[in-house]
Chains A and B, each alone.
Chain A
Amino acid sequence: MIGFVIRRILTTIPVMAFVALFVFSLLYIAPGDPAAVIAGDQASAEDIERIRHGLGLDRPFLVRFAEWTWQILRGDLGTSMFTGLPVTELIKQRIEPTLSLMLVTLAFAITVAVPIGVLAAWKAGGWLDRLFMAFAVLGFSVPVFVAGYLLAYVFALQLDWLPAQGYTPLSQGVWPWFENLILPAIALGFVYIALIARTTRAAMLEVLSQDYVRTARAKGVSEGGILFLHALKNAAVPIVTVIGIGVALLIGGAVVTESVFAIPGLGRLTIDAIVRRDYPLIQGLVLMFSMMYVLVNLAIDLLYTLVDPRIRY
């Protein structure tokens, strides 16, 4: 088992290496010459050449890649071209709203989607099942910003139950923080709920047809006990896997949701970076989000081996 854990951790190395190479190439082939930008309009060709040499921009690709990687490994993501601040500093300033939004969405989506999937599988073919699965197709089809505007229009503008926009840091109280996240989390959660509910239903259908479920029923276990204790536990692996894969949806969706609800997080930072073509910042953000995604899925894989005695490598 230790062997598996080590091997699984090692497999993330080539993946991260590829991501790093891609992100580095982004800056390498990006249009515009940083040396010319720094030198300014009046600079001569020699000045630009000198600055380029000074920055090390005239050295071969692989040398620069190796140096850049070493820099990243020491925790330095470079300097933002627009603000002049270190990229890590900018990310630190903006990470709280994004993490809050993603965690609230995750908690909300799982609490809603898993029971939906379980009930749909229990009553497979019935009207409840059809209703839930129709809802799932809708969830896949309504883009996150459409859902966001719809919710904000109904619950903030018309009914005035919740704030339409903005973010309050957690340090100013739990309710003000949570209040601002309810609508964005529901909007962002739609696709995620559809994905998890469908997978839960499929996994449960598989498990419910097995012999030990019939045995449990025969010895008088309640339906609730069968569904949520016996069956769900055994259907957990695909469900947890898809929750991990779906984090990609959360990351992509957060960029848009933050824009709809005016949340000053990493998503807004990403959009600003693109509008300003701030390549070091774009690099840092793509690298950070991808790492987050890879590490979440690594953690989930390792969790199985600890939790599920059937998985032995």
Chain B
Amino acid sequence: MTEVTVTDLVPATAAPDLPDILPPARPRRGIARFVQRHPAIATGLGLLAVMAALASLAPYLGTVDPTALAPAKRLKPPSAEYWFGTDAYGRDIYSRVIFGARVSLLVGFSVAFLASLAGLLIGLVSGYIRGLDGLIMRVMDGMMSIPPILLAIALMALTRASVENVIMAIALAEVPRVARLVRGVVLTIRGQPYVEAARASGCTAVRIIFRHILPNTLAPLTVQATYICGSAIIVESILSFIGAGTPPIIPSWGNIMADGRTLWQIKPYIIFFPAVFLSITVLAVNLLGDGLRDALDPRLAKRL
């Protein structure tokens, strides 16, 4: 019996030479490659880096004391001396806007971190320990049935105005959404054969949760945390704008706009500059979130 091998049957010329058809690939390296592959992440990160630089270098950017009152110089329109003009108390709006970036970024990142951490723990417990699931999720449903801004407003009404309390109030309102997300992931992962194998080989529940289940939640959690950061920055400005947020003495974008509220028809620039900074910052965070979502979850990227 003669042996017939596959190579005998397939002509050697069957496969065209790919390099002739495809244009020569010139792999880009470093930052240029990253920007090309993830334009949304790069734009978002770039804008955020600028904002973070403005916030941390605020005292060295030609600013004056953002709380200094100067009654003689009130309501000056933007000029070479006062780039963004002055408000009803003669405070320099440019300095207030630059220093205001500190509050917004601090609140955004702290809320994203705290809400994700709390939501992650609650979601892991709720998804893994079935006995507690019903109770925990009913409480989360209850919290979610109060519109988030309203919940934050109600919590702020209980405490005195401070940046810490604003962070806690907004974070608390965001926890149930994170918990639901994490729980959903845990429920799909816990039935996987490899989790069963881990359990059969004697892993403790804690080890299964942290070594085998937790890593699967990190990608969606990161995306969610980014969106929470964006919405927290908006909610902080809204709370401050309606007088239930950051104490009026601290310059924050919402506070500056609240100060300009009664004068906006004659002095619109008071509101204009913080509004632009606020919108650009939130846009940067949301772009980052969209980019991360597309990069981390290709399945979802096609659908949204």
Contacts and interface: CB of A to CB of B under 8 A. Distances in A.
A249 B151 CA distance: 12
A140 B154 CA distance: 24
Interface in B122-171: 138-139, 141-143, 145-151, 153-154, 156-158
A147 to B, nearest CB: 9
Interface stretch (B5-13, B57-65, B274-282): B274-282
Contacts, number: 138
B83 interface: no
B304 interface: yes
B146 A274 contact: no
Nearest to A29: B158
A44 B138 CA distance: 45
Interface string A161-182: 0001000000000000000000
Contact of A15 (B142, B147, B158, B279): B142
Interface string A1-22: 0000000000000111111011
B279 A290 contact: no
A289 B154 contact: no
B116 interface: no
B268 interface: yes
A274 B148 contact: no
Contact of B157 (A18, A248, A282): A282
A8 to B, nearest CB: 13
Contacts of B261: 259-260
A275 B243 contact: yes
Interface in B256-274: 257, 261, 264-265, 268, 271
A12 B282 CA distance: 34
A239 interface: no
A271 interface: yes
Interface in B236-293: 237-238, 241-244, 257, 261, 264-265, 268, 271, 275, 278-279, 282-283, 285-287, 290
B234 interface: yes
Given A26-B158, A143-B234, A271-B242, A289 B283 contact: no
Contacts of A26: 154, 157-158
Nearest to A251: B147
B85 interface: no
Contacts of B243: 271, 274-275
B238 to A, nearest CB: 5
A153 B266 CA distance: 10
B289 to A, nearest CB: 9
A290 B198 CA distance: 43
Interface centre among B145, B264, B303, by most chain A C-beta atoms within 10 angstroms, is B145
B242 A138 contact: no
Interface stretch (A51-59, A198-206, A216-224, A226-234): A198-206
Given A149-B275, A157-B265, A259-B242, A143 B237 contact: yes
A126 B37 CA distance: 19
A256 B268 CA distance: 18
B108 interface: no
B271 to A, nearest CB: 5
A137 interface: yes
A143 B279 contact: yes
Contact of A149 (B141, B238, B271): B271
A274 B244 contact: yes
B230 interface: yes
Nearest to B149: A252
A145 B238 contact: yes
A282 B241 contact: no
A285 B243 CA distance: 17
Contacts of A145: 237-238, 241, 257, 275
Nearest to A249: B147
B286 A140 contact: yes
A293 B141 CA distance: 12
Given A202-B303, A255-B150, A270-B153, A294 B145 contact: yes
Contact of A19 (B145, B242, B287): B145
A22 B142 contact: yes
A201 B304 CA distance: 7
A257 to B, nearest CB: 11
Contacts of B145: 15-16, 18-19, 290, 293-294
Contacts of B283: 137-138, 141-142
A15 B146 CA distance: 10
Contacts of B238: 143-145, 252, 255-256
A100 to B, nearest CB: 19
A274 B143 contact: no
A31 interface: yes
Contacts of B157: 26, 30, 273-274, 277, 279, 282
Nearest to A146: B275
A195 to B, nearest CB: 11
Given A274-B157, A274-B243, A286-B154, A22 B146 contact: yes
A274 B153 contact: yes
15 contacts: A18-B141, A19-B146, A29-B158, A141-B285, A144-B238, A150-B275, A255-B149, A259-B241, A270-B150, A274-B244, A282-B153, A286-B146, A289-B146, A289-B147, A293-B146
Given A26-B157, A274-B157, 17 more contacts: A18-B141, A22-B142, A140-B230, A141-B282, A141-B285, A144-B238, A146-B275, A149-B268, A164-B265, A253-B149, A259-B261, A260-B261, A277-B157, A282-B157, A285-B150, A290-B150, A293-B146
